Amino acid sequence: MTLSLGDKAISPPVLLAPLAGITDLPFRSLVARWGAGLVVSEMIASGEFLTARPGTREKAELGAGIANTSVQLAGRAPGPMAEAARMVADMGARVIDINMGCPAKKVTGGYSGSALMREPDHALRLIEAVVGAVDVPVTLKTRLGWDDSSLNAPELARRAEAAGVRMIVIHGRTRCQFYKGRADWAAIRAVKDAVSVPVVANGDITDAATAREALHLSGADGVMVGRGAQGAPWRLAEIAHALYGAPRPDVPGGRALTDIVQEHYEAMIAFYGPELGVKCARKHLGWYMDHAGTAPEMRRRVLTERDPAQASALLRPALEDALMEAA
């Protein structure tokens, strides 16, 4: 199955969600290697992006020109959003996504992210500005609404489609739920019924079984996976194989898994530099070791080690010994 965004095709319709502090370029590159229809960058604040110096990591390492990459923008004002969209399109972005779903207080406090769902007229002006600024497909990511008394995602989706948005991604929670409870996939069906552009279901989709159920309840055209890919960059490929007959991924185990994890770690050190790279990599290493069943003391030693070379040396036995015991 293929999602059509004008002249842009997304196949398979299994997408990587933007996760702040997680879906950076090294991680997106790993996920894309196994196979994903689209990977979405971490949310970029349009105003900050415009004022960042040339050559900064945010601009130089955006990965906009990599195939099957969407760049997600957030902001409050139409002008800066349009200018940032033009800039990332010139850098090679194939798709631009507008964030109207982030629930974080530091984002909604600045009247961005899901706060825009409380002001649909202003949200529409922002959407129109971005669509009018670029020739590449523009998509929109929202939640069901701000809270249970304002489930306005279907109406916002209708207006966004009329403004030229080519795909809608819906996280099946309200902003006020944050990540509590369970995503309401059935509620996404109202959005699917409201528009003719592709609709993608998001929220609590962690494997093939949950993806299948989300599609069944929502009627959506595809799924977006976020936290389910943590520590398992091959997860999207597994879902694509089970649901759409995509090639079966070669899920690594034993020494092959250790090699992948060390490659990921080294890529993060190179991307961020040694000091920041060690800090940013800890959560990824923790997820990998959790999956492997690493002993708590060894896990602690790896995650508290500040020297990249020493952490890398500890990582191999931390993973391989745990996997050997599990076997």
- Tens digits of per-residue pLDDT, 83-116? 999 998 988 888 999 999 887 777 876 767 888 9
Q: Which uninterrupted H or E stretch holds 168?
A: strand 167-171
> Are 22 and 87 found together in one domain?
yes
Q: Is 50 among the domain residues?
A: yes
Under DSSP, the state recorded for 169 is E
Does residue 75 lie in a domain region?
Answer: yes
Q: pLDDT tens digits for 146-201? A: 888 889 999 999 999 999 999 999 999 988 887 888 999 999 999 999 999 999 99
Decide if pLDDT at 304 tops 70. Answer: yes
Same domain, 232 and 278: no
Domain annotation covers residue 249: no
264 annotated among ligand-binding-site residues: no
| Contact present, 17 and 42 (Cβ < 8 Å) | no
Least confident span in 44-53, 93-102, 233-242, 287-296: 44-53
Domain end (from 190, 214, 244): 244
Q: Are residues 165 and 191 in the same domain?
A: yes
Instruction: Kindly tell me if the per-residue pLDDT of 222 is higher than 90.
Output: yes
The proportion of the chain whose per-residue pLDDT surpasses 90, expressed as a percent, equals: 67
Any known ligand binding at 166?
A: no
Using the predicted structure, report yes or no on whether residue 59 has a pLDDT greater than 60.
no
Instruction: Please tell me whether residues 232 and 91 are part of one structural domain.
Output: yes
**pLDDT of residue 318 exceeding 80:** yes
Q: Which pair of structure tokens corresponds to residue 92?
A: 């090679």
Q: Mean pLDDT, to the nearest integer, of 237-251?
A: 94
CA distance 52 to 76: 18
- Does the annotation flag 227 for ligand binding? yes
User: Do 228 and 90 reside in the same domain of the chain?
Assistant: yes
Same structural domain, 217 and 268: no
Select from 18, 41, 35 the least CA-distant residue to 171.
Answer: 18
Please report how the helices 235-244 and 208-218 are oriented relative to each other, as an axis angle in degrees rounded to 10: 60
Highest mean predicted confidence (pLDDT) among 90-94, 200-204, 270-274: 200-204
Same domain (yes/no): 163, 274 = no
Q: Strands (DSSP E) along 185-240, which ranges?
A: 199-202, 222-225
Give me the number of domains the chain comprises. Answer: 2
- CATH at residue 216: 3.20.20.70
Q: What pLDDT does 223 receive?
A: 98
What is the pTM assigned to this prediction? 0.92
Instruction: Please name the residue that has the structure tokens 């129109």.
Output: 128
- The pLDDT assigned to 65 comes to 63
Does 259 share its domain with 235? no
Q: What is the dihedral of CA 101, 107, 112, 118, to 10 degrees?
A: 70
Q: Which residues pair with 141 in a beta bridge?
A: 99, 169
Residues with Cβ within 8 Å of 13's Cβ and at least 6 positions away in sequence, in order, are 1, 2, 3, 37, 198, 200, 221, 222, 223, 244
pLDDT at 49 over 90: no
3-class DSSP state of 64 = coil
pLDDT of residue 192: 98
Which amino acid is present at 161? E
Specify the amino acid at residue 177: Q
Q: Which sign does the torsion angle of CA 309, 313, 316, 318 carry?
A: negative
pLDDT of residue 61: 63
Region 109-127: what's the mean pLDDT? 87
Our answer to whether residue 280 is catalytic in this structure is no
Average of per-residue pLDDT across 296-303: 94
Residue 60 lies in a domain: yes
Looking at residue 8, its pLDDT comes to: 83
Give the residue from 19, 27, 57 showing the smallest Cα distance to 281: 27
19, part of any domain: yes
Q: Is residue 66, in this structure, part of any structural domain at all? A: yes
| 198 and 101 in a common domain | yes
Q: Which residue has the higher pLDDT, 167 or 45?
A: 167
Q: Are residues 216 and 287 in the same domain?
A: no
Q: Are 75 and 46 in contact (CB under 8 A)?
A: yes
231 is annotated as contributing to ligand binding: no
Where in the sequence is the domain holding 49, given as residue range(s)? Answer: 3-244
- 210 within a domain of the structure (yes/no): yes
Same domain, 102 and 227: yes
Contact 28, 16 (CB under 8 A): yes
Per DSSP, the three-state class of 22 is: coil
User: Of 225, 244, 263, which one is at a domain's C-terminal end?
Assistant: 244
| Catalytic, out of 102, 200, 214, 319 | 102
Judge if 266 and 225 occupy the same domain. Answer: no
> Which two three-digit tokens encode residue 21?
């502090």
Domain-terminating residue out of 187, 220, 244: 244
Q: How many other C-beta atoms lie within 10 A of the C-beta of residue 6?
A: 14
Q: Is pLDDT of 60 > 50?
A: no
122 annotated ligand-binding residue: no
